Structure 1
Amino acid sequence: MTSAHEPSMSQRHGELLRRVQNVAAQLREVTDAGPGMFDDGVSGDSQLVWQERLETLSVEAEHAQFEAVLEGVDPGWVVDARELGQRGASSPSSHVVRQHPARANEAQEFYLDMLEVDLWNLERMASLEAARIDRITTGRWTLDRDPIAVAQFADNMAALHTRITVLAAAAQLTPAEGDSLWGSSVEGIRRVHAVTFAAYDEQALAQEWNGYARADPALAVPPYVPRDPETGAPTDPAAVAPPTPRQMLADATSALRVQFVDTAIRNSESTDLAAESTAITAVVDAALGEDREWTWEPDHDPAAGRGREISPDRGPEL
């Protein structure tokens, strides 16, 4: 039994992960700063001092990671803590509001509004699937797994992805504006989804997931965007597109991993990491590996609409 003066297993693991993170952050800072960091204007050996400092920090980083693994910390958590340090922050940006591109044209403003609604739903679907796969992989899912529903869920993600691409073209979205809507700057939004679904019980998560697996998804091409009167195809060429469903699933899985690791680093005493430390790295393999439950078919024509046949072994293109 742990005494009041001895750190719990949770505390000890949290301290080890924080050390891995901090040393990785120091190594990144010194690497980025270069020899000029040690240039005092007098001595001429700043390059040598910089290299020695890098070597020292590299050894410390390896030792911190090795010690954490020896103490029983899941190796996947150690890797994630190191990556958090290399990114220079303990957690993603707390901002959860997108930068809405300005448009004087009312029609384009409307397209952007609709795009953001669809983008939110697509990100939410990716987070739901990441959470579901994590629970299946770690033995925390007792409900049936319907392959037809899985295929329909994947088809619905593909339709939403096409819809967002069409709306982005209609709004004449630039690459920079696209990045502001779905790039690394909105990692905080992915984190919100991860935190939200991590708190759901199995029934609540299944109910939310099933809602997105319905057989009547939104049209892949909205009826209100400009179309060619003869072909019915959108007239605006697609210049930018959101991340593919596969990439969104990978990003959602990464956000889930970061949430687990950041919780460990923050080290809540009420959490027993030995019990909660499941094979987090297996989540990525389960989500993206060869044996995943759903696969992705090649990109389809945005103008093709919804006339695709559903099969249990198919999913949206990534």
Structure 2
Amino acid sequence: MTENQVDATPFELSGWKARLLDRIEDLSARYALVLSTEYPGYREDDGHGAEMIEGWCGRLRDLKESRTELEIRTELAGVELELIELARVDGEQGEHWNHLIHRPPTVGSDERGRAPLLDALAETMWTLEHMAAVEAARQACGRDFVPDPAGQQQYERNMTALWTRANTVAAAVELTEAEHTEMVHRDHGNWIRLVSRTVYRYSDSDIEVRWRAYAWPGIEWEAKRMSAELVDPVRLVEPSRLVPAPGVLIGEATRALQVDIGEAQADAFFYGADVLDYLAPALERSYDGAGVGSWGSEPAGESLARPPELGTPADPA
């Protein structure tokens, strides 16, 4: 075993999680390339030339920010931090994260047609959950944001369109029980991890930027376009297998934000354990928040012909 190798206990890693590590590795490789080969040349007649060096710095910042957010998402998907660190470091060095592990994990073998659908579902679920956390944090902020009724309506339409897309993709890929458990439903403890690693750390301006980005109408357009290319989820997905509705996701995020995350993080840092080990019985608290119910939820025992619309009943077709 070389100095850079890691002696890890063998285990199986889902294919879609391994591909997240591949993306981190790719972003690290691109960062190293821009850093080492794309530094802009300077000629005497360029004068100040600030736009060239600012453009170079901006590309590096964008790549680093994209990689950091992908690392957080990969961590929240349950991938070990050691593997994430390997993907980041080895990507910069032109190595593959799996090659420097003495006993590497077995990567799940996805059929060629399933792999892109599983990746699309993982991407959509992350977007839905992050949108729910951003919306919950925006509602909970002490400062009032500038009212934006049109933006709010579009945000809701975007979540609804993504909800439809997630169910459509899940139906098309015919998720196994294990995949459904792993990809679709996040328990309360993992919601706390999500908000503690994302919106809990955001400033008000960070929340506003992300909220406005998620209110972009193009999200609805793209989600509907992709859904139209696949099968109708109602024909293949049982009600119990549907992705949680937007209102349910926002309620989970809100409930997680009610936990004293700051104190738990401080204790975990000091004592070297997991944040969840230091959370009070607030973990079991239920949330009955104003505004969340207006998003609707799936009717028990019935299949949805369309996702629930804000303020309207979710009637079957």
* Structure with greater contact order relative to length (CA < 8 Å, sep ≥ 6): 1
Q: Tell me the TM-score normalised to structure 2 length.
A: 0.49
Q: Tell me the TM-score normalised to structure 1 length.
A: 0.49
Query: Larger radius of gyration, structure 1 or 2?
Result: 1
